[in-house]
Amino acid sequence: MDRGHHLEQAGPPGQAHRGMTVVRTARFLGRSFTYGYVVTAHEPDRSVDLHVDKPFPMLVRYQLADAEGGTEVAIHATGSPGRFFGVLTPLMRKQVHRSISADLDRLRSCLEGAP
């Protein structure tokens, strides 16, 4: 397990549903944050929308689509770093992109059974 990115479902196990929280511990810009993604919408096997407050308020949408030879995964994130991170917006944009790319790489490794 990657110590910098730990996920844990809060509450009883089961399929994603509106109101469910997934707790994540991650390192971002040299700081460790533990926060909850709250599922705000879910369409099984198609999409899930999440809201998160840390490290800054963000809406994240994961979309799945059938593709030749597999599944296409897209992640869309929107948010505003606010006053604390505001001056660092260009750096934050790059860091969020890097973090999302790493999430997709980990997802691919898990799904394809790679170490």
Domain ranges in the chain are 5-112
pLDDT at 3: 43
Taking the CB of residue 23, how many other CB atoms lie within 10 A of it?
14
pLDDT at 115: 53
For domain 5-112, which architecture applies? 2-Layer Sandwich (3.30)
Check residues 97 and 28 and name the one with the higher pLDDT.
97
96, pLDDT greater than 80:
no
pLDDT at 1: 33
Check residues 105 and 81 and name the one with the higher pLDDT.
105
Q: What share of the chain is helix, strand, coil (3-state, %, to 5)?
A: 25, 45, 25
Rounded distance, CA 23 to CA 37, Å?
6
Rounded distance, CA 102 to CA 67, Å?
21
Check residues 115 and 62 and name the one with the higher pLDDT.
62
Considering the chain, what percentage of its residues have pLDDT values greater than 90? 12
pLDDT at 49: 93
Residue 91's identity, in one-letter code, is L
Which residue from 75, 94, 82 is spatially nearest to 37, judged by alpha carbons? 75
Rounded distance, CA 12 to CA 23, Å?
13
